[in-house]
Structure formats: structure tokens, C-alpha cells
């Protein structure tokens, strides 16, 4: 059984092919195709998707050794995302399903991130908890079976990846600065500066208060976390403070973001009694988070899983694996199915 | 017009903003990082009965929420965009002229695509966590 999957929810156009749930190919336009085709790859939007979708699908099919007529189904990201970007993938998938007369399978991007954990050989057993952390999302999902999951916690403002990127921006690092914060943090002392942990009820997260206290702390060149006119440092003092303490600042900020994430995971484990714990999403590339998850898991008796990086960032392999389970369950859509920008799932 | 408000006064401030907006659909929220733009958007949405989670659209660019009265509310963030052209390709214009309420953060990234009848909100932090909000038609 061959399935083609298409992902176009945000900046990247991706395609993957799987055979009976095994990933045969997984291509992303901003990487491989860009190298192969050269030329400018615009960062954003539907025009870039339109340029990329045919070559990317072609690559994915070729690598998988599969022709379009061999396909048994086509899956695509239906929601959430940028509507103009989603539409490109949705229309392409619909046209292909219509012309080949094969089932069309709509996939929710956030459910697919969770199911990326089922791609590797070593996979969690059900039920499991998944912390999905990326530039746009921060969620704790309880997954009972491949097609039965609930969001049990999520951010009420900024996402964790955004907290990394915006902190980096405040430190004068280039965007997206999350990976740079991770890099400098390795050399720094995470206990040096103490940023407040928000008190948010239940399993929800908040990162905007942390962002604001970092902003004020830097504005005051490290003298206070509060906004007061008399604490404001000069530009020279601020720049010198950041330069002299960059590693410790990065380590302390990263330490706090990770502790916010893992403290909620501990609470989720306590409340659900589930000790199979996964992460997903682009921020799972952060070395501090990977290490902290493993250490916390070892200490508290969790089994932890981190998928390979190519399945953590936005990719089509996760759409393929989700499509495969929906195919088995016969969850198909007709051609009237619409792409949606809304993040909620029923 | 301007108003100084604390975190506790957010709901009444949101209501005041909607009263000032009248028939105006597009609200542009100006203010530095940490000024409280996303927090104000949250209050504005709650005041219109939105129950969806109103997270930051910095990464997603455009969030869409279901709203009981108007049907939907768009929450946009132009932070990652370079200029008007990128904003148009990202579908920002489609939202701004859709007739649905639009709450836009970082509008200064693409000032040229806003309709003339836009309400501009300027947020500024003050001492002890309070904020100053100034409202104008331009």
C-alpha cells in the first residue's frame, strides 16, 4: 500500500511516501530541492509553495521508487496553518486524488507531530504523553491510540520556540536565534540569573511574562526585573552587560524555559499516571531540553522518546504516518473538504 | 484619546476599545516587544465572546478564531515579515479587507496595506506593570 503525503502549512513545502506505514522518502523544499534546483527560495507564502510542490512530490516519488499510478491514497495537511499555504497542498492533493481515483485523507498538523513518534523502530506504547514544542505551538497531548488524542495543556500566549527566538532577539542575536541560545547556553551557568516561573493553573503554559521580565532585566542591565524609569541603564551599559554575560544569560533563559515545560510534564504524568513520555516539534532539537527530558525521565521512572530531528521539524513523513492510520480506519474525505486556519481540533 | 490601565482593568479597557472602534474592523496594535499587545488582543477577543485559545501568531502569522457575533476574528502578527509584498503573499490583505474584525500586531512592518479606516492603538509600559494606551485614527 503506497501513500503520498503533502505538507504545506507554513514556510516549507514537503512531500513523503510511505508503504504500509514505513517511510520510503521524506523531502523538504527549503533543503534538498533548493540545493538541487538552485535559485532563490522565498521564505514565505503560497507563491513559494506553488513553485516547490511539483518538484518536491516528484523527488519523493522517485526516491521511493514509486510511480503516481501505484499510489493507493494521498494525504495532506488540512489545518492549521497559513490559509494561502494550506490551499496549495490541499488543491494539489485533491487534484491528484481525483485524477488517480484514490482516497483523499485530510490530516491535522498537530496530530501528525505527535504521531511522528510512531515512525522510529523504538516507539512509545499507548497511552503516551507528548510535549509538542515549536515556534508556533506548545501543547501537551494525551495519545490513547493513533487516532484518539486530546490536548490536555497548551500555551495561552507565546510558544516555547517563540520564547527562545524573542529572547535571542533581545540579546541582539540574529533571527531565528533559538539554536544560538542553545549553543551559548552550553558554556554558561544556568543558575546565574533567576527569571520568574509563571503560575498558570492546570497544564497550560505561558511564556509572555518571562519574555517581559527578560526585556526589563536587560533594559536595566541586570539590576532588576522590574520596569521602573530610574532603573533604566544607558545603551552602553546594556550592551556591555549583554556582551560580558551572554553565555550565562542564554543558559539562565534556556534553563527557565525548560523548567516551565518539564514542570508541566511532571504534573501531567502525576495527573494521568502515564509514564511513556515523548517530545515532538522543532524545539525538540534543543540540546538542553533533550538532556533535561532524559534526566527527568531517568529520575522519575519515565520512558522517554525523542524522534530523529527530520521528523521533529515540519515534515511530510509525519503526515504520511498519520495518513496511513487514517487509511486503515477508512477516514477519507470527499473533494469538498476545506483547508482551515483554525488550530482547534474536535 | 488615552487610558492608563492595570492588568485587572483589561476587560473594561477592551470594551472601551471596541466602543471607540465603532464600525471600524481593523485595529493596528503598536508597541515594543513586551508592551502587552498579545495580552490586549486576548482581552479584546474575550470581550467578543471568543473561547478559542488566543496564542501569539508570530510564527503562524495569521490566527483565526470563532466569534459568536461576527463569525470570526483574525489575529495577525507581521513581526516576521519584511514588507508589504511579503504581507500580501502571506494573505494579510485578504484578511484586512474581508469585513471580519482584524487585530494586527507589528503593523509598522507593512504600513502601506492598511485600509484608511484603521484604528491605531499605541501601547506603552509604565511603572509597576500598568500600561498606557493611546488611540487614534492614524
Query: How is chain A split into domains, by residue range?
Result: 2-113+311-328, 125-306
Judged by CB atoms closer than 8 Å, whether chains meet at B60 and A80 is answered as: yes
Running along chain B, 138 residues long, what does each successive block of 10 average in pLDDT?
93 97 97 92 96 88 90 93 84 93 96 96 88 90
- Whether A280 contacts A113, CB under 8 Å: yes
Which candidate from B66, B86, B128 shows the least CB-CB separation from A44?
B86
pLDDT at position A45: 58
| Interface list for B 96-125 with A (CB within 8 A) | 125
CA-angle at A267, arms to A159 and A124, nearest 5° = 80
Q: How many CB atoms are closer than 10 A to CB B99?
A: 10
A131 closest CA partner among A320, A314, A290, A340 = A290
Exposure b/e, A39-68, CB count within 10 A at least 16 = b: eebeebbbebbbbbbebbbebbbebbebee
What is the side-by-side strand order in the sheet with A276-280? A148-154, A138-145, A128-133, A276-280, A303-305
B71-77/A104-108 β-pairing: unpaired
Judged by CB atoms closer than 8 Å, whether chains meet at B60 and A10 is answered as: yes
Q: CA A238 to CA A244: how far, in whole Å?
A: 10
A29 closest CA partner among A71, A3, A4, A59 = A59
Closest-CA distance of chain B to residue A83, Å: 8
| Interface list for A 192-231 with B (CB within 8 A) | 208, 211-212, 215-216, 226-229
Omega within 30 of 0 (cis) for the link into A127: yes
Domains and CATH numbers, chain B: 23-118 (3.40.50.300)
Which residues have CB under 8 Å from B65's CB, separation 6+?
A342, B45, B50, B52, B54, B72, B73, B74, B75
Closest-CA distance of chain B to residue A45, Å: 5
Judged by CB atoms closer than 8 Å, whether chains meet at B127 and A47 is answered as: no
- Whether A25 contacts A17, CB under 8 Å: yes
* Segment (H or E) for A86: helix A83-100
pLDDT at position B138: 66
CATH number belonging to the domain at A2-113+311-328, selected among 1.10.3720.10, 3.10.560.10, 3.30.420.40, 3.40.50.150: 3.30.420.40
Share of chain A above pLDDT 70, in %: 95
Chain centroid offset of residue A142 CA: 16
**Helices assigned H by DSSP within A228-304:** 235-272, 287-300
Residue A341: all three cell numbers together? 486556519
Cβ-Cβ contacts under 8 Å, B63 against chain A: 341, 343
Judged by CB atoms closer than 8 Å, whether chains meet at A208 and B38 is answered as: yes
- Whether A93 contacts A319, CB under 8 Å: no
Residue A73 has, within 13 A of its CA and on its CB side, a CA count of: 29
Residue A79: all three cell numbers together? 489545518
pLDDT at position A37: 46
B79: nearest CA partner in chain A: A166
Cβ-Cβ contacts under 8 Å, A343 against chain B: 52-53, 55, 60, 63
Q: Which residues of chain A have pLDDT under 50?
A: 31-34, 37-43
Whole-model pTM: value is 0.88
Angle, nearest 10°, between helix axes A178-185 and A287-300? 60
Q: CA A195 to CA B130: how far, in whole Å?
A: 20
Judged by CB atoms closer than 8 Å, whether chains meet at B64 and A134 is answered as: no
| Interface list for A 115-174 with B (CB within 8 A) | 134-137, 154-159, 161-162, 165-166, 169-170
Cβ-Cβ contacts under 8 Å, A216 against chain B: 34
3-class SS of residue B122: strand
- Whether B106 contacts B76, CB under 8 Å: no
Omega within 30 of 0 (cis) for the link into A176: yes
Cβ-Cβ contacts under 8 Å, B54 against chain A: 156
Closest-CA distance of chain A to residue B24, Å: 23
Residue A158 has, within 13 A of its CA and on its CB side, a CA count of: 23
CATH number belonging to the domain at A125-306, selected among 3.40.50.300, 3.40.50.720, 3.30.450.40, 3.30.420.40: 3.30.420.40
Closest-CA distance of chain B to residue A82, Å: 6
Closest-CA distance of chain A to residue B93, Å: 12
Identical fold, A2-113+311-328 and A125-306: yes
Amino acid at each position: 500500500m503506497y501513500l503520498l503525503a503533502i505538507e504545506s502549512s507554513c514556510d516549507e513545502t514537503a512531500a513523503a511516501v510511505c508503504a504500509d506505514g514505513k517511510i520510503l522518502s521524506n523531502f523538504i523544499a527549503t533543503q534538498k530541492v533548493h540545493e538541487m534546483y538552485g535559485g532563490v527560495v522565498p521564505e514565505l507564502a503560497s507563491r513559494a509553495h506553488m513553485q516547490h510542490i511539483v518538484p518536491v512530490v516528484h523527488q519523493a516519488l522517485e526516491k521511493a521508487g514509486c510511480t503516481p499510478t501505484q499510489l493507493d491514497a494521498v494525504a495532506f495537511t488540512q489545518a492549521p496553518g497559513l490559509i494561502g499555504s494550506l490551499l496549495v497542498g490541499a488543491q494539489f492533493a485533491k487534484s491528484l486524488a481525483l485524477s488517480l481515483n484514490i482516497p483523499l485523507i485530510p490530516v491535522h498538523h498537530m496530530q501528525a507531530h505527535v504521531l511522528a513518534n510512531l515512525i522510529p523502530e523504538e516507539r512509545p506504547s499507548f497511552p503516551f504523553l507528548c510535549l509538542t514544542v515549536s515556534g508556533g505551538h506548545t501543547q501537551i497531548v494525551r495519545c490513547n491510540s493513533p487516532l484518539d488524542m486530546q490536548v490536555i495543556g497548551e500555551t495561552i500566549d507565546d510558544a516555547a520556540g517563540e520564547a527562545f527566538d524573542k529572547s535571542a532577539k533581545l540579546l541582539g542575536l540574529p533571527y531565528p536565534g533559538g539554536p544560538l541560545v542553545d549553543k551559548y547556553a552550553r558554556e554558561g551557568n544556568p543558575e546565574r540569573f533567576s527569571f520568574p516561573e509563571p503560575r498558570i493553573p492546570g497544564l497550560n503554559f505561558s511564556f509572555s511574562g518571562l519574555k517581559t521580565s527578560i526585556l526589563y532585566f536587560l533594559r536595566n542591565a541586570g539590576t532588576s526585573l522590574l520596569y521602573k524609569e530610574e532603573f533604566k541603564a544607558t545603551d552602553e551599559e546594556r550592551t556591555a552587560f549583554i556582551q560580558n554575560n551572554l553565555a550565562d544569560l542564554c543558559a539562565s533563559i534556556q534553563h527557565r524555559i525548560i523548567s516551565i515545560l518539564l514542570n508541566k510534564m511532571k504534573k501531567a504524568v502525576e495527573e494521568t499516571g502515564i509514564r511513556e513520555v515523548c517530545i515532538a516539534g522543532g524545539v525538540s532539537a534543543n540540546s538542553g531540553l533533550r538532556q533535561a527530558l532524559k534526566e527527568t525521565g531517568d529520575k522519575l521512572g519515565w520512558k522517554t522518546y525523542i524522534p530523529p530531528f527530520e521528523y521533529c521539524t515540519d515534515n511530510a513523513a509525519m503526515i504520511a504516518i498519520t495518513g496511513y492510520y487514517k487509511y486503515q480506519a477508512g477516514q477519507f474525505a470527499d473533494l469538498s473538504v476545506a483547508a482551515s486556519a483554525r488550530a482547534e481540533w474536535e | 484619546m488615552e487610558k492608563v490601565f492595570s492588568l485587572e482593568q483589561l476587560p473594561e479597557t477592551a470594551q472601551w476599545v471596541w466602543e471607540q472602534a465603532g464600525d471600524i474592523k481593523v485595529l493596528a496594535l503598536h508597541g515594543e516587544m513586551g508592551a502587552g499587545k498579545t495580552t490586549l488582543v486576548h482581552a479584546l477577543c474575550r470581550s467578543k465572546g471568543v473561547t478559542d485559545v488566543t496564542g501569539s501568531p508570530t510564527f503562524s502569522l495569521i490566527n483565526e478564531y470563532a466569534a459568536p457575533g461576527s463569525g470570526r476574528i483574525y489575529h495577525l502578527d507581521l513581526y516576521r515579515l519584511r514588507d508589504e509584498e511579503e504581507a500580501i503573499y502571506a494573505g494579510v490583505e485578504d484578511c484586512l479587507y474581508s469585513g471580519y474584525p482584524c487585530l494586527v500586531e507589528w503593523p509598522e512592518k507593512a504600513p502601506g496595506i492598511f485600509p484608511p479606516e484603521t484604528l491605531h492603538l499605541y501601547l506603552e509600559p509604565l511603572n509597576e506593570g500598568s500600561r498606557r494606551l493611546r488611540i487614534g485614527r492614524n
